[in-house]
Amino acid sequence: MNREIDRRSQARFRLALAALILFGLGVIAAALRLAPRVVPDVYVLNDFYDYYIGARLFWDGHYPCGVTPEFARLAQQYGVRFMWGTGYNYPPVLVLLLWPFLLLRPEPAAWVWAGASLLTLGILVYLVARRVSGPWRSLLVTCYMLSYTPVIYSIGSGQVNILVLAALTAYLLARSDGIRAAGLALASLVKVFPALFTGKEILQGRFRFALLSAALMVGALVIPAVLRGPGVVVDYFTRVLPEINHAFHADMSNQSLNGLFSRLLADPTLAGLAVPHGVLVAADLIATAAILAGLLFVTWRRRYDEPVLTLLWLAGLTLIAGRNMFWNFAPCVFIGIYLIVGWEGLAGWQRGLFIASALITNLLWHFVYALGYAMTPADLPLPRLVFTLIFSLGTVSLVLKAAALLGEPRGRRREILG
């Protein structure tokens, strides 16, 4: 009898959870359509159009990356207006996944992409929340994932980030090594930096998993190399990727250390650097080396349990990434879920860091929406360091969450990642 009651209670809770998620997705969809300040009109689905035109160029036999004359011609032909027209700047594997969208015109394809992102987000929230024991914590995790402003912005701007979030979820939460390896490979083939997780796996002695992940990555890269020649793959990793990671990008969406250094070293109008470009590159490289050395050290020392160690790697790789807006919220989502699950066992200072980090990232986006994207140090009577910190709140938030993780003692495992 008690088992029957428990089954009914669980069924009712799953139904209520699904209803809450559908309601949240509806609110997000309405906000994207009805509130232009959430995502400015000129930036609605902006990034998808970059992907779409890049994919069209690839399948038509042209070079897909950057703003080439062919890119500009297609943008004019399609009537696409870019807020930031950077062209397609992802590894050539993504254009293979985008082929079905080329069957549609750009605008309907973009809205199908946004709808698919919303649906994927809903499924991810449901699957993750169901792993959490206790209805209240499940509801907290659900609300946390659905109310994180950068997630909404990511969908509205047409970015590929929800696909990468799904891939990372598979890597972090799946029990099958095959699914985990496929998730890591897919995330790496879009954002590149997750590939460094293979270093962690090797250091921990999981050679077969690392080899499987690497084989999937290399195998996928062979396909565009066969279709359009190896030059398109080689050029991306030898020219495009280095330029992206060490270019000057002070815009508010760049929340990696690259963005922090760019804002700190820029001239007052953010039109260029106030120092030689080599200073920015050197700062990037030194920070990258230091963070990677730290990650390798804590992995070698085995001071932290696997869930915390994995999340620390995710935070560290995020900080050293180039101009990837995705990275300022995906790690915060996973780290936040972990801390919510273990709330009762957290010290007061850990709770404080988590609450502060969750608030300031959302405040960054609302602050920027209110003042405008073109805000520069010359427009505000603020010291340069204060301006840099305000517009780098995504970075600050991630550092605070990582600091909370560093306080986790060995032997305390959380169910969601453990």
Co-location of 49 and 68 in the same domain? yes
Co-location of 187 and 60 in the same domain? no
3 state DSSP class of 246? coil
Cβ pair 39, 150 in contact under 8 A? no
C-alpha 89: how far from its chain's center?
15
Co-location of 179 and 310 in the same domain? no
- Count up the domains in the chain and report the number: 3
Q: Which two tokens stand for residue 411?
A: 């032997």
Co-location of 313 and 295 in the same domain? yes
Co-location of 298 and 199 in the same domain? no
* pLDDT value of residue 147: 84
Please give the C-alpha separations between residue 279 and each of 240, 242, 289, 291, in angstroms, as whole numbers: 20, 15, 15, 18
Query: In this structure, how many other beta carbons lie within 10 angstroms of the beta carbon of residue 75?
Result: 20
Cβ pair 32, 156 in contact under 8 A? yes
* pLDDT value of residue 5: 56
Cβ pair 120, 166 in contact under 8 A? yes
* pLDDT value of residue 38: 55
Q: Which domain holds residue 388?
A: 252-418
Residue 266, strand partner residues = 273
Co-location of 173 and 31 in the same domain? no
Co-location of 347 and 278 in the same domain? yes
Co-location of 337 and 356 in the same domain? yes
Co-location of 210 and 323 in the same domain? no
Query: Per-10-residue mean pLDDT for the chain, 418 residues long?
Result: 64 86 89 61 78 94 89 87 76 93 93 93 92 86 86 82 91 93 94 92 94 96 93 92 84 83 88 90 92 93 88 91 63 88 90 90 71 71 83 87 87 66
3 state DSSP class of 345? helix
219, 245, 271 — which closes off a domain?
A: 245
Co-location of 273 and 354 in the same domain? yes
The count of C-alpha atoms lying within 13 angstroms of the C-alpha of 255, restricted to the half-sphere facing its C-beta, is 28
Co-location of 274 and 303 in the same domain? yes
245, 265, 295 — which closes off a domain?
A: 245
Co-location of 4 and 77 in the same domain? yes
159, 182, 209 — which closes off a domain?
A: 159
The count of C-alpha atoms lying within 13 angstroms of the C-alpha of 296, restricted to the half-sphere facing its C-beta, is 11
The count of C-alpha atoms lying within 13 angstroms of the C-alpha of 359, restricted to the half-sphere facing its C-beta, is 6
